[in-house]
Structure 1
Amino acid sequence: MAFMQSWIQKLWRISDTNGAQRVLAIVSFTESIFFPIPPDVMLMPMCLGNRAKAFRYALTCLVFSLLGGVVGYFVGYYFMELIGQPIVRFYGFEEQVHQISLWYDKYNAWAVAVAGLTPIPYKVCTLTAGMFHIDFAVFVIASTLARGFRFFCVAGLLYLFGEKVRYFIERRFNLVVTALMVMVVLGFVAVKFIK
């Protein structure tokens, strides 16, 4: 928890710097493969800081999240034993891999879409989609729709209600950071206790 809170606070601070969009791209890319913090942590304050660029930031999240997702898919497809399994073990998801395979057998694109929309770590989706050889086109389409909906909803809400949201966040910074951290943890817990 302390590790993730530290990262969330660092990313929040970076979101107000000149290189923030590059860092947002890196976070979006790596979160799709191994990084534990979702790009929303940076997307929110960046949209608040420059509402005119909110949709540009959402597009950055989408494009780089998808690129990372493709890399994650191919890591799972070709290098699951060498690279993917250590990532799965690091997060403690070994027992869930079998359950996720059943989801893919039953729901295919819907399983990808759920992972793209919810706090369930997207990296779990990308690695296992490759591991279980989910149709690549289905994976890309479902990921694009789900991740796009998620990032553009966040950007749209902040674009429309920015000042009200900004005031709330500035007054309740610790609460917002805690809520973001709880969302990340809940995503990991949701996958950990899938039976």
Structure 2
Amino acid sequence: MKIFSRLYQLVMKWAMHRHAPVYLSLNSFAESIFWPVPVDVMLAPMTLAKPKSAWFYAGLATVFSVLGACFGYLLGYALWDPIVQPFIASMGYEGKIDIAEAWFAEWGIWVIFIASFTPIPYKVFTVTAGLLSMAFLPFILVSLVGRGLRFFLVSGLMKWGGVKMEAKLIRYIDLIGWVSLIVAVIAYLLLRN
């Protein structure tokens, strides 16, 4: 089935839309708090569609992601009991917060860098940083560095790879999509306990 190639074509149309930077900004902000769709899913095709805007898009994603992280921090800091904790409980994510707290205790601020740069769910750590009253300025600075490195790397690779990379991506998009979906389901089944 060629579901992912159709989705890719749709995403490329959105990436060329005149409001694409607004959508990227909103996605970047929300992804740092609760949204499950990674910023890279929109950033990469936008960069492929308009390579001259690669650094602008990466900067936009970085700034709005860190602004979202600040909001996530505020939720954890000021609204844990009335809003965040009941939501976490309803989703069954108490264990993930416990793991985040343990990681903070063991690695401190490095957890923010790791979560901001890797596919580890950054949102869990932004809210937990607020819950634990982590020093705010270091939180922002490390988030800027980690998110910036990630998004500028994605944009840089897309700009550098250009048409050749897009051709390879189109050729293998369905295989990549199905493998990613299977890996995500397996990871979910293994980690849900």
What range describes the TM-score normalised by the shorter chain of this pair?
0.7 to 0.9
Structure 1's 179 and 110: CA in aligned 2 closer, same or farther, altered over 3 A? farther
Are the aligned partners of 1:14 and 1:20 in contact in 2 as well (CA < 8 Å)?
yes
Matches within 5 A, 1:116-131: 116-131=116-131
Aligned partners of 1:130 and 1:56: how far apart in 2?
29
Structure 1's 131 and 90: CA in aligned 2 closer, same or farther, altered over 3 A? same
1:149 corresponds to which letter in structure 2? Answer: L
Q: Do residues 149 (structure 1) and 149 (structure 2) align?
A: yes
Q: Name 1:79's counterpart in structure 2.
A: 79
Q: Name 1:159's counterpart in structure 2.
A: 159
Range with bigger deviation, 147-156 or 80-89: 80-89
Q: Name 1:55's counterpart in structure 2.
A: 55
The number of residues matched between the two structures is 186
Deviation readout 1:2-26 (Å, 9 max, x if unpaired): xxx8xx7665542231111100000
Are the aligned partners of 2:96 and 2:124 in contact in 1 as well (CA < 8 Å)?
no
Aligned partners of 1:191 and 1:83: how far apart in 2?
28
Q: Name 2:23's counterpart in structure 1.
A: 23
Are the aligned partners of 1:31 and 1:37 in contact in 2 as well (CA < 8 Å)?
yes
Structure 1's 53 and 182: CA in aligned 2 closer, same or farther, altered over 3 A? farther
Q: Do residues 32 (structure 1) and 32 (structure 2) align?
A: yes
Are the aligned partners of 1:33 and 1:68 in contact in 2 as well (CA < 8 Å)?
yes
Deviation readout 1:106-142 (Å, 9 max, x if unpaired): 2111110111011111110111110111111121111
Are the aligned partners of 1:112 and 1:125 in contact in 2 as well (CA < 8 Å)?
yes
Give unmatched runs, 5+ long, in structure 1: none
Aligned partners of 2:61 and 2:190: how far apart in 1?
23
In the superposition, the TM-score normalised over structure 1's length comes to: 0.84
Q: Percent identity?
A: 34
Are the aligned partners of 2:115 and 2:121 in contact in 1 as well (CA < 8 Å)?
yes
Q: Do residues 14 (structure 1) and 14 (structure 2) align?
A: yes
How far off is 1:176 after superposition?
4.4
1:161 corresponds to which letter in structure 2? Answer: G
Aligned partners of 2:91 and 2:12: how far apart in 1?
23
Aligned partners of 1:91 and 1:11: how far apart in 2?
29
Secondary structure of residue in 2 paired with 1:18: coil
Are the aligned partners of 1:66 and 1:140 in contact in 2 as well (CA < 8 Å)?
yes
- Say what the alpha-carbon RMSD is for the aligned residues: 2.6
Q: Do residues 113 (structure 1) and 120 (structure 2) align?
A: no
Range with bigger deviation, 90-99 or 150-159: 90-99
Structure 1's 15 and 153: CA in aligned 2 closer, same or farther, altered over 3 A? same
Structure 1's 42 and 91: CA in aligned 2 closer, same or farther, altered over 3 A? farther
In the superposition, the TM-score normalised over structure 2's length comes to: 0.84
Q: Name 2:95's counterpart in structure 1.
A: 95
